[in-house]
Amino acid sequence: MEQFVDPKMLASLAEVYRLTMRLTLVCVVFVPLERLFAAHPQRIFRKQILIDLAYYVMNSLIVAMFLSVPIGLMTWSLQKSLPATILTLTTTLPVWARLCLGLVVSEVGYYWGHRLSHTIPWLWDYHVIHHSAEQMDFMVNTRAHPVDLVFTRLCSLAPQYAIGLGGLATGEGSWIPIVLALFGLFWGYFLHANLRWRFGLLERAISTPGFHHWHHTLNGPINKNYASTLPWLDWIFGTLHLPKELPDHYGVSSAVPDTLLAQLALPVSPSAPSLRRLKRTTKHETALPQLPKITVDELATEVDSWQKNDAR
Ligand SMILES: [Zn+2]
Ligand SMILES: [Zn+2]
């Protein structure tokens, strides 16, 4: 009997089962909540929902594969450059302190990685896919180019590993980054959900859908609320925007293709937002009229003649 069971096939089936169960759990939690406490009236099967589902499967399968090598390299180089006392100190902390420290350093790493994705043009070419959603719901959380996802995951994981929270330094496995990653994954679905829940004053301490919906606004102010779970980081770095109301429209002004393959190819295609902007700028600069060079004396004579003409 054993010869008929292919271990690779079993592993693939287990992966499919894990992905299906996770999606079912997320749907069981968020579909009823979005029906009961919707921020905006909208259908479950909105435009692009199938593409977001494809991102869910694709990113779940390939991102972990591409993370291990860069994480290993980054951890090694960061740990070499930090004083050894930091690593020793971290491993002696109680569990709750290591969790809190892990959350803060991963959030700082995520904040700056995310902010760079909005300010460096070639990184925005990848991140624009996530922002192209025109309606917000929990599945928008999955909508991300794999390169964008790997980059932001690296930015949040590397600082944790660098100071010895799990991974190479402790030799105890990576349970703190795993716990934080699972919490971040669930919170990501919550932040994107079509929910009108706000936490009052607590909203400055822990992020809400309202906080992240403003990050996705179409009409501005744009480039606000970069944090994932700790909005006070945006307050410290001057990017917090938390009005009482929610945005009316979501998405980006630049054109993003409708199909999955075209979206995946967008950053390396001639339609990439950074290339289009560059072309527009070059065209604009060449179209500017060439003004004649004129000295101050010539200008004074010219003005004098205008005044004389006006006086007539
Ligand atoms: Zn963003
Ligand atoms: Zn988002």
Q: What contacts 64, CB < 8 A, 6 or more positions away? A: none
- 294 CA distance to ligand 2 middle (Å): 53
CA-closest candidate to residue 161, choices 172, 150, 148, 149: 172
Q: What contacts 72, CB < 8 A, 6 or more positions away? A: 168
- 79 CA distance to ligand 2 middle (Å): 31
- 221 CA distance to ligand 2 middle (Å): 15
Ligand nearest to the CA of 250: 2
Q: What average pLDDT does range 232-252 have in this prediction? A: 94
Task: State the pLDDT at residue 312.
Answer: 43
- SS3 state of residue 38: strand
> Whole-angstrom Cα distance, residue 139 to residue 145?
14
> Whole-angstrom Cα distance, residue 106 to residue 98?
12
> Whole-angstrom Cα distance, residue 258 to residue 48?
8
Q: Which two tokens stand for residue 145?
A: 């180019």
Q: Which two tokens stand for residue 177?
A: 């980054």
Kindly tell me if the per-residue pLDDT of 98 is higher than 90: no
- 70 CA distance to ligand 2 middle (Å): 24
Task: State the pLDDT at residue 272.
Answer: 85
- 23 CA distance to ligand 2 middle (Å): 18
CA 55 distance to own-chain centroid:
14
Kindly tell me if the per-residue pLDDT of 310 is higher than 50: no
Could you tell me if 90 and 101 are in contact, meaning their C-beta atoms sit under 8 angstroms apart? Answer: yes
- 116 CA distance to ligand 1 middle (Å): 9
- SS3 state of residue 217: strand
Task: State the pLDDT at residue 228.
Answer: 94
Task: State the pLDDT at residue 61.
Answer: 81
Q: What average pLDDT does range 14-19 have in this prediction? A: 84
Q: What average pLDDT does range 224-247 have in this prediction? A: 95
Kindly tell me if the per-residue pLDDT of 63 is higher than 60: yes
For 86, the enclosing helix (H) or strand (E) is helix 84-92
Per the prediction, the chain carries an average pLDDT of 83
Q: Which two tokens stand for residue 253?
A: 């002004």
Task: State the pLDDT at residue 200.
Answer: 85
Could you tell me if 205 and 79 are in contact, meaning their C-beta atoms sit under 8 angstroms apart? Answer: no
Ligand nearest to the CA of 137: 2
Q: How confident is the model at residue 3 (pLDDT cuts 50, 70, 90)?
A: low
- 21 CA distance to ligand 2 middle (Å): 23
Task: State the pLDDT at residue 292.
Answer: 53
Task: State the pLDDT at residue 265.
Answer: 95
Task: State the pLDDT at residue 91.
Answer: 77
Kindly tell me if the per-residue pLDDT of 236 is higher than 60: yes
Q: What average pLDDT does range 177-200 have in this prediction? A: 90
Q: Which residue has the higher pLDDT, 218 or 90?
A: 218
- 298 CA distance to ligand 2 middle (Å): 58
Q: Which residue has the tokens 């740990």?
A: 79
- 141 CA distance to ligand 1 middle (Å): 11
Within the chain, how many helices (H) and strands (E) appear?
A: 12, 0
Task: State the pLDDT at residue 311.
Answer: 43
How far is residue 289 from each of residues 64, 285, 286, 292, measured CA to CA in Å? Answer: 53, 9, 8, 9
- 124 CA distance to ligand 1 middle (Å): 9
Kindly tell me if the per-residue pLDDT of 2 is higher than 60: no
How far is residue 4 from each of residues 9, 164, 297, measured CA to CA in Å? Answer: 11, 44, 96
Percent of the chain with pLDDT over 90: 47
Q: Which residue has the higher pLDDT, 309 or 103?
A: 103
CA-closest candidate to residue 190, choices 50, 15, 53, 39: 39
Q: Which two tokens stand for residue 60?
A: 């779940």
> Whole-angstrom Cα distance, residue 224 to residue 205?
16
Q: What is the DSSP string of 284-302?
A: HHHHS--PPP--HHHHHHH
Ligand nearest to the CA of 136: 2
Ligand nearest to the CA of 209: 2
CA-closest candidate to residue 152, choices 234, 226, 60: 226
Percent of the chain with pLDDT over 70: 83
- pLDDT, tens digit, 9 for 90 and up, residues 249-306: 999 988 899 999 999 999 998 888 887 777 766 655 455 445 455 565 665 665 565 5
Q: What share of the chain is helix, strand, coil (3-state, %, to 5)?
A: 65, 0, 30
Q: What contacts 26, CB < 8 A, 6 or more positions away? A: 138, 189
Kindly tell me if the per-residue pLDDT of 132 is higher than 60: yes
CA-closest candidate to residue 177, choices 107, 92, 106, 231: 106
- 146 CA distance to ligand 2 middle (Å): 14
Tell me the residue length of the chain: 312
HEC secondary structure over 238-275:
CCCCCCCCCCCCECCCCCCCCCHHHHHHHHHCCCCHHH
- 161 CA distance to ligand 1 middle (Å): 24
Q: What average pLDDT does range 186-190 have in this prediction? A: 94
**Minimum mean pLDDT among 152-156, 176-180, 210-214, 255-259: which range?**
176-180
